Amino acid sequence: MARFLSDEWLAELNGAVAFDDHLHEAASGLRLTIQQVVTRPDTGERCYTIEIDDGRVRLSAGRIESADATITEDYDTAAALARGETTPQDAILAGRIRVSGDLGALLKGQEVLELVRARFDDVRSRTEY
Protein backbone atom coordinates (compact mmCIF):
# COMPACT_ATOMS: atom_id res chain seq x y z
CA MET A 1 0.00 0.00 0.00
CA ALA A 2 1.46 3.35 -1.05
CA ARG A 3 1.64 6.22 1.42
CA PHE A 4 -0.14 9.41 0.31
CA LEU A 5 2.25 11.86 -1.41
CA SER A 6 5.14 9.34 -1.49
CA ASP A 7 7.14 8.56 -4.61
CA GLU A 8 5.41 5.15 -4.69
CA TRP A 9 2.02 6.87 -4.63
CA LEU A 10 3.03 9.07 -7.56
CA ALA A 11 4.20 5.96 -9.44
CA GLU A 12 0.79 4.35 -8.87
CA LEU A 13 -0.96 7.47 -10.15
CA ASN A 14 1.27 7.48 -13.22
CA GLY A 15 0.31 3.87 -13.82
CA ALA A 16 -3.38 4.74 -13.51
CA VAL A 17 -3.20 7.34 -16.30
CA ALA A 18 -0.61 5.66 -18.53
CA PHE A 19 -2.91 3.44 -20.56
CA ASP A 20 -6.19 5.33 -20.60
CA ASP A 21 -7.00 5.92 -24.28
CA HIS A 22 -10.01 8.14 -23.48
CA LEU A 23 -7.84 10.39 -21.31
CA HIS A 24 -5.09 10.55 -23.93
CA GLU A 25 -7.61 11.48 -26.62
CA ALA A 26 -9.21 14.19 -24.45
CA ALA A 27 -5.79 15.64 -23.61
CA SER A 28 -4.63 15.68 -27.22
CA GLY A 29 -3.41 19.17 -28.12
CA LEU A 30 -3.45 20.37 -24.50
CA ARG A 31 -0.29 21.56 -22.76
CA LEU A 32 -0.67 22.35 -19.07
CA THR A 33 1.67 22.11 -16.10
CA ILE A 34 0.26 22.31 -12.59
CA GLN A 35 2.40 22.57 -9.48
CA GLN A 36 0.79 21.04 -6.40
CA VAL A 37 2.09 22.28 -3.03
CA VAL A 38 0.84 20.43 0.04
CA THR A 39 1.79 21.98 3.36
CA ARG A 40 2.03 20.25 6.70
CA PRO A 41 3.17 22.00 9.88
CA ASP A 42 5.19 19.05 11.20
CA THR A 43 6.99 18.05 7.97
CA GLY A 44 7.02 21.15 5.79
CA GLU A 45 5.78 20.94 2.24
CA ARG A 46 5.58 18.22 -0.39
CA CYS A 47 5.42 19.31 -4.01
CA TYR A 48 4.55 17.41 -7.14
CA THR A 49 3.72 18.34 -10.70
CA ILE A 50 0.97 17.23 -13.05
CA GLU A 51 2.11 17.70 -16.63
CA ILE A 52 -0.29 17.33 -19.54
CA ASP A 53 1.58 17.38 -22.83
CA ASP A 54 -0.42 16.73 -26.00
CA GLY A 55 -2.20 13.61 -24.81
CA ARG A 56 0.38 12.42 -22.29
CA VAL A 57 -0.18 12.86 -18.55
CA ARG A 58 2.70 12.49 -16.10
CA LEU A 59 3.20 13.22 -12.42
CA SER A 60 6.58 13.89 -10.88
CA ALA A 61 7.88 14.79 -7.44
CA GLY A 62 9.43 18.13 -6.63
CA ARG A 63 8.99 21.81 -7.27
CA ILE A 64 9.30 23.42 -10.69
CA GLU A 65 9.49 27.07 -11.66
CA SER A 66 7.67 26.93 -15.00
CA ALA A 67 4.17 25.83 -13.92
CA ASP A 68 1.17 27.36 -15.64
CA ALA A 69 -0.67 27.29 -12.32
CA THR A 70 0.18 26.50 -8.71
CA ILE A 71 -2.32 24.96 -6.33
CA THR A 72 -1.51 25.17 -2.61
CA GLU A 73 -3.41 23.42 0.14
CA ASP A 74 -2.80 21.94 3.56
CA TYR A 75 -2.36 18.21 4.06
CA ASP A 76 -5.89 17.63 5.40
CA THR A 77 -7.44 19.29 2.35
CA ALA A 78 -5.17 17.40 -0.05
CA ALA A 79 -6.03 14.10 1.66
CA ALA A 80 -9.77 14.87 1.56
CA LEU A 81 -9.46 15.60 -2.16
CA ALA A 82 -7.50 12.41 -2.78
CA ARG A 83 -10.05 10.34 -0.83
CA GLY A 84 -12.91 11.89 -2.81
CA GLU A 85 -14.44 13.49 0.28
CA THR A 86 -14.52 16.94 -1.32
CA THR A 87 -14.10 18.46 -4.76
CA PRO A 88 -11.55 21.04 -5.85
CA GLN A 89 -14.39 23.50 -6.49
CA ASP A 90 -15.80 23.08 -2.98
CA ALA A 91 -12.34 23.40 -1.41
CA ILE A 92 -11.65 26.60 -3.38
CA LEU A 93 -15.00 28.10 -2.36
CA ALA A 94 -14.26 27.22 1.28
CA GLY A 95 -10.88 28.99 1.05
CA ARG A 96 -8.95 25.77 1.66
CA ILE A 97 -7.08 25.93 -1.67
CA ARG A 98 -5.07 28.83 -3.07
CA VAL A 99 -4.57 29.02 -6.82
CA SER A 100 -2.05 31.23 -8.56
CA GLY A 101 -0.80 31.56 -12.11
CA ASP A 102 -2.75 31.30 -15.36
CA LEU A 103 -6.31 30.57 -14.23
CA GLY A 104 -7.50 30.58 -17.86
CA ALA A 105 -5.15 27.69 -18.68
CA LEU A 106 -6.38 25.83 -15.61
CA LEU A 107 -10.01 26.31 -16.65
CA LYS A 108 -9.18 25.24 -20.20
CA GLY A 109 -7.80 21.96 -18.83
CA GLN A 110 -10.67 21.36 -16.38
CA GLU A 111 -12.30 18.54 -18.39
CA VAL A 112 -9.01 16.66 -18.70
CA LEU A 113 -8.22 17.24 -15.02
CA GLU A 114 -11.58 15.70 -14.08
CA LEU A 115 -10.69 12.63 -16.16
CA VAL A 116 -7.31 12.45 -14.43
CA ARG A 117 -9.04 12.71 -11.05
CA ALA A 118 -11.40 9.88 -12.02
CA ARG A 119 -8.42 7.64 -12.90
CA PHE A 120 -6.99 8.35 -9.46
CA ASP A 121 -10.08 6.72 -7.93
CA ASP A 122 -8.46 3.37 -8.69
CA VAL A 123 -5.49 4.26 -6.49
CA ARG A 124 -7.58 5.59 -3.58
CA SER A 125 -8.34 2.20 -2.02
CA ARG A 126 -4.64 1.28 -2.10
CA THR A 127 -3.41 4.47 -0.39
CA GLU A 128 -2.39 4.88 3.23
CA TYR A 129 -3.20 8.36 4.61
Q: Is the pLDDT of residue 120 over 90?
A: no
Q: Is the pLDDT of residue 42 over 90?
A: no
CATH topology of domain 2-121: Nonspecific Lipid-transfer Protein; Chain A (3.30.1050)
Predicted pLDDT at 91: 96
Predicted pLDDT at 71: 96
DSSP β-ladder status, 31-40 and 69-74: parallel
Could you read off the pLDDT of 63-101 as tens digits, one per residue? 998 999 999 999 999 999 999 899 988 999 999 999 999
* Mean pLDDT, the chain, whole residue set: 94
Predicted pLDDT at 62: 96
Q: How does residue 19 score in pLDDT terms, banded at 50, 70 and 90?
A: confident
- So where are the chain's domains? 2-121
Predicted pLDDT at 51: 97
